[in-house]
Amino acid sequence: MIQAAIFDMDGLLVDSEPFWREVEIEVFRTVGLEMDDEMCKRTTGLPTDTVVRYWYEKYPWHNRSVEEVNADIIQGAYDQIGKRAGPMPGVPAILELFRQQGIPMAIASASPMHLIEVVLDRLNIRSYFTLWHSATLEKRNKPHPDVYLGTARKLGVEPHRCIAFEDSGNGLKSAHAAEMLTVSVPADYEFDDPKFDLATLKIPSLTAFTLSQLRELENQLSITQITR
């Protein structure tokens, strides 16, 4: 029934969000903007260029271009994630679960392809995935569905027969708009935010996802097919 499992990357497979925030704080300081963790969390899950534009519109600066700031954040994140990031809890187990069930896996990320490959090698999980796809190669980034639809197309599967795992609200909107079954894995600080009610299933960590939940999702898909 389930034709593929598609995973977001940042904050879901790799514990990268602290490094993104660390780099953002450092780079925004170069344009006179003093950030903190709470400010950075407001834009979690958004593409980097959207984050930079968001803060520029609120607190315009004049000593550097938006493009330079964006490039510095991306490069800084590459460096720190490639050297220091580890997997989120439950990553090896959930990948093994889907491998044992014979369900192909893919990554659909808002991050550029180079960063996706940095993470695959850093976590040594490249062999689990049939393919990985970046929203930067699509016309529109998350929260639009393009990257999920593009990933399904590349896999040769039907979007509504896929399970998508997401940790951010914008990513969840993206997968939901692609008409996929969705599993949200919010961070602790926003677990109770109503924006995650959109998900088919919400869990506190990938460690909480079980074979029985996979079977329940398959049953939901069966029921959906009957009513179509």
4-15+86-227 CATH: 3.40.50.1000
**The pLDDT of residue 227:** 55
> pLDDT tens, 36-53?
999 999 898 788 999 999
- State yes or no: pLDDT of 226 exceeds 80: no
Residue 121 CB-density burial (10 A; 0-12 exposed, 13-18 middle, 19+ buried): exposed
Query: Could you state, in order of their start, the residue ranges of all structural domains in the chain?
Result: 4-15+86-227, 17-84
Average pLDDT over residues 12-40: 95
Q: Cβ distance 215 to 195 under 8 Å?
A: no
Considering the candidates 8, 15, 72, 146, report the single residue annotated as catalytic.
8
If one looks up domain 17-84 in CATH, what number appears? 1.10.150.240
197 part of the active site: no
pLDDT in tens, 52-98: 999 999 999 999 999 999 999 999 998 999 899 999 999 999 999 99
CA dist., res. 10 & res. 80, Å (int): 13
For residue 8, indicate whether it is catalytic: yes
Give the residue among 103, 89, 107, 98 at the shortest CA–CA distance from 6: 107
Catalytic pick among 10, 15, 72, 167? 10
Confidence of residue 228 (pLDDT cuts 50, 70, 90): low
Kindly compute the dihedral angle of the four CA atoms of residues 93, 74, 194, 138, in this order, to the nearest 10 degrees. Answer: -90
Identify the residue whose tokens are 């720190």.
80
| Stated pTM of the model | 0.87
Closest CA to 40 of 11, 13, 14: 11
What's the pLDDT at 1?
A: 86
